[in-house]
Amino acid sequence: MRRILLIILSLLLAGLALGGVFLTQPVLFSRKARLAIPRADLELLRSHVVKLATAFLPRSAGHPESLDAAAAYIRKELERSGGRLSEQPLTFERKTYRNVIASFGPESGERIVIGAHYDAYGGFPGADDNASGVAGAMELARMMGASPPKIRVDVVAFTLEEPPAFGSPGMGSAVHAASLRLAGDRVRAMICLEMIGFFSDNPGSQTFPMPILRLFYPGRGNFIAVVGRPGEIGLVRAVKNAMRSASSQSVRSINGPRSLLGADLSDHASYWDAGYPAVMITDTAFYRNTGYHTAADLPETLDYDRLAEVVRGVYAAILHLAES
């Protein structure tokens, strides 16, 4: 009986270990980036976050004037990057909104989409959610403008990610993804920047949707996460490895089902629904940031040094995917 119990225990532990490997895709050795990866501009990132979180409130559905002003600011900044600018108007609840798009590299062929939503929940500042992601996208545009990628890269600032549009065909990302599918455009990968600026070194600052995940991830909220579906192991691993190769920021990953709370709560899910491969880069949102969807989500709560390192890592991932 003891031997049988030991065998059962060994099998359970082996299964747990294999499950952990499948979820986390550990990397024992990280190669340095083969290409020179420029540093992101920390002060530009900070200024974009402050501007979005203070000058255009409320950035939410039902307030198209504020969202339009935010979109105009984003367009102006993207124009400075040298990208090919376009806009995608959409209607939600009889009001008109717009996605803002800057394209780099070749005009045709397969593309990579980098996206972040510029609206914010309710009347709140939304510094982390999601001025941080939009600031990161604008900085990536500036970096690509200085050195265009080998394949087309579209940087898209989405409108209407937050409720009441969330999960509906009226989401800015849903409209964009559907338009690509309708046109038959090929997407090598979509990378969603969803809350990328909040970090904490305090013990216990990181929480999880399932207690068992504590066995595989740090208890301090000082890492950035790459989130993908179980069938996207290759993409998640490629993005994580590229980010680690170029950045000092700790990078973790998870390949989990959409039923895992939080796994599909952003714009990347729109591309999954359209049949495209997509990942989310995130600081894990409400699993770490207690200011999520509150008035406490302010620019001064973000870590701009780490935000800049995240952006640098994502830039390395874009270059890697463009070459693959």
Q: Classify residue 2: in a domain, yes or no.
A: no
Give the other-Cβ count within 10 Å of 36's Cβ.
8
> What are φ and ψ of residue 218, in 5° steps?
-65, 155
Strand 111-117 versus strand 152-158 pairing type: parallel
Q: Is 72 within a domain? A: yes
pLDDT number for residue 34:
55
The answer to whether position 235 is within a domain reads: yes
Does 9 map to a domain? no
**What's at 69, amino acid-wise?**
A
CATH code for the domain in which residue 295 is found: 3.40.630.10
Asked if the model's pLDDT at residue 172 lies above 70, the reply is yes
Report residue 294 as tokens: 């509150």
Q: Are 245 and 33 in contact (CB under 8 A)?
A: yes
Q: Is residue 175 classed as helix, strand or coil in its secondary structure? A: helix
Query: Would you say residue 27 has pLDDT above 90?
Result: no
Q: What is the pLDDT of residue 299?
A: 98
Mean pLDDT of the chain: 92
The H or E element spanning position 115 is: strand 111-117
pLDDT of residue 33: 54
pLDDT at 324: 83
- pLDDT computed for residue 23 by the predictor: 52
Instruction: Give me 321's structure tokens.
Output: 């995917």
Number of domains composing the chain: 1
- Going from the C-alpha of 200 to that of each of 219, 297, 306, 307, the distances in angstroms are 10, 14, 11, 12
DSSP 8-state assignment for residue 162: S
User: Domain containing 108: what range?
Assistant: 23-323
Ramachandran region of residue 321, left (φ > 0), alpha (ψ -120 to 50) or beta?
alpha
In this structure, is residue 81 part of a structural domain? yes
Instruction: Provide the pLDDT for residue 166.
Output: 97
Average pLDDT over residues 17-22: 46
DSSP 96: E
